[in-house]
Amino acid sequence: MLKTGRWARKWDSCRECHATTTPHYAKGYCTRCYMRLYKRDQRRNQRTAYTASQAHVP
């Protein structure tokens, strides 16, 4: 249960864009920012795995 005027339990607004109109999703981020950051991290992980696999090719 949120206190009156709170956007999330620990946050008054999104940690990234500071919006309060977009619903909270997770970890202090709104749905838009969380998905954007999640996809960015997925792309970074794919690049890192690809680069690591290429480094071991003779």
* 19-44 pLDDT per residue, tens: 999 999 999 999 999 999 999 999 99
In a domain, 2, yes or no: yes
- Position of tokens 């920012």? 33
3-state helix, strand, coil in the chain (%, to 5): 45, 10, 50
In a domain, 3, yes or no: yes
Helix (H), strand (E) at residue 30:
strand 29-30
In a domain, 21, yes or no: yes
Q: Alpha-carbon torsion 32, 38, 43, 44, what sign?
A: positive
pLDDT at residue 53 in the model: 65
Each residue's pLDDT tens digit, 45-55: 887 776 666 66
- Residue 58 confidence class, pLDDT cut points 50, 70, 90: low
Domain of residue 40, residue span = 1-46
Q: How many domains does the chain have?
A: 1
pTM: 0.73
Maximal CA-CA distance, the chain = 62
In a domain, 53, yes or no: no
